[in-house]
Chains A and B, each alone.
Chain A
Amino acid sequence: MPSLERVEIKKVTKRFGGERALAGVTMELAAGSMCALLGHNGAGKTTLLGILSTLTRADSGSVAYRAGDKPVTGAAVRREIGMLAHASLCYAELSARENLAFFASLYDLDAGRATLDAMLDRVGLDPKARDRAARTYSRGMLQRLALARALLTRPSLLLLDEPFTGLDRGGAISLGGELGALRDQGAIVVVVTHDLEAIAGRTDHVAILRRGQLVFEDRGSYDYEQLKDLYHSHAN
């Protein structure tokens, strides 16, 4: 199965009714990079993540997924995508282990208890809570479970929408480290966040959207103060 090495976004536009969500966004994502996708609410970040996840259709333009020079399409792309969205994407009536086992089975992955526990250890979900229904979880615990589900498949394209929401400072720092490690292993990581502190110094690609347009893009690492300045000068 190919690992994605490049995602080429070309002149992507999307409207919802009369509202313009994206207006001709062109950018490229490369393996081994972490892109911070920034912008105010309604700037089009979540729509762009939806299009990258293949679950939202662009009105025009294209998104090409490549492994080497070969295009990757359909189910092969979906197999490579891990997604953390606003919602947990997990079943409230199932426990953490059951959720992971179900999704692992759909990917034909090993759903043994040891494998699932290793993943839950990795995201720091309390062992005592793992057999409880997810509806009893706190926001932070749900976020950890959602992250475990997203990482379960060892995705080469990781799409994260506000991943730090609900996590305490320790959890956010740990997640930031985890994302950095994934990037170092060659994954393409795209993070939509307003928590600039959590991603400062970790990203090597910054893109800022304003009213559906890409108004700033640079491949470079920024500290918190630099990110804050960039955000205020371009997102507003």
Chain B
Amino acid sequence: MTVIGQALRVAGKDLRIELRSREILYTMAFFGALLAVVDAFVFPANAKLARAAAPGMLWVAIAFAGTIGLGRAFDRERENDTMRALLLTPVPRLAVFLGKAAAMTVLVLSVSLVCVPLLSLLLDVPLVEHPPLALALLLGAIGFSVTGSVFSAALLKVRSRDVLLPVILYPLLIPLFVAGTSATAALLEIPRNDDKLWYWIGFLGIYDLAFLVVSVWIFESMVIE
């Protein structure tokens, strides 16, 4: 069994548990939707302003809802000390890490599926009309999940992990959210600014690659006491 195959088994287990309880998915989706609705009411009904603010609103909703999901996903591994059981298997720790991050990516993308049409509808901004947004969201979800998973796992046994996670994570995610917001903003420019769009999508790809390498490198040392 390859590392990817083993990672898929870990991810499949996480998603199976989530499909059964739907606890994280509903919480993240509801929170993401709530943020979108609040944002839509807070900003004045001005088409130009809404168009300018929508990218930021979208990525803030993803960041906050994603953080809730991260915390809960790793709490599940803490409840019966199942992270220890995973680490005790002969499966490479890389596969455990990739599996957890892959499952988290699916959950973050699910939140995007709720937030994008909702913001489009409430702000009357044509987010759903731009297929490259899907690529930006996919790369954003991967970067968020990879970086988030390594620190969530490291904080698993820390009592104040709920407070510490965003404090540690958000500074590292700033480049990702700047890139995501900028790529989305480029999509909404009239006419669409493709140079800017692909520059920032490329940036997201490089961010993902860099943090994937670093996370894979430090994961084992962060989860072993």
Contact = CB atoms under 8 A, between A and B. Distances in A.
Q: What is the size category of the interface that chain B forms with chain A?
A: 20 to 34
A54 B86 CA distance: 12
A114 interface: no
Contact of B89 (A86, A90, A103): A103
B80 A105 contact: no
A64 interface: no
B13 interface: yes
Secondary structure type dominating chain A contacts: loop
B189 interface: no
Interface string A138-174: 0000000000010000000000000000000000000
A93 B20 contact: yes
Contacts of A105: 9
Interface string B61-91: 0000000000000001001111011111111
B80 A102 contact: no
A224 interface: no
A86 B84 CA distance: 12
Interface in B81-120: 81-82, 84-92
B55 to A, nearest CB: 36
Interface in A100-144: 102-103, 105-108, 133
B9 A106 contact: yes
A122 to B, nearest CB: 19
A90 B85 contact: yes
Contacts of A149: 85
A87 B21 CA distance: 21
A76 B90 CA distance: 7
Q: What is the size category of the interface that chain A forms with chain B?
A: 20 to 34
Contacts of B1: 108
A94 B13 CA distance: 9
A89 B90 contact: no
A106 B82 contact: no
Given A89-B88, A92-B80, 19 more contacts: A50-B225, A53-B88, A55-B225, A57-B225, A76-B90, A78-B90, A83-B84, A85-B84, A88-B80, A90-B82, A90-B85, A91-B76, A92-B76, A93-B17, A102-B9, A105-B9, A106-B6, A133-B20, A149-B85
16 contacts: A53-B88, A55-B225, A56-B224, A56-B225, A57-B225, A87-B81, A89-B88, A90-B82, A91-B17, A91-B76, A92-B79, A93-B17, A93-B20, A93-B21, A94-B13, A106-B6
Interface of B: 1, 6, 9-10, 13, 16-17, 20-21, 76, 79-82, 84-92, 224-225
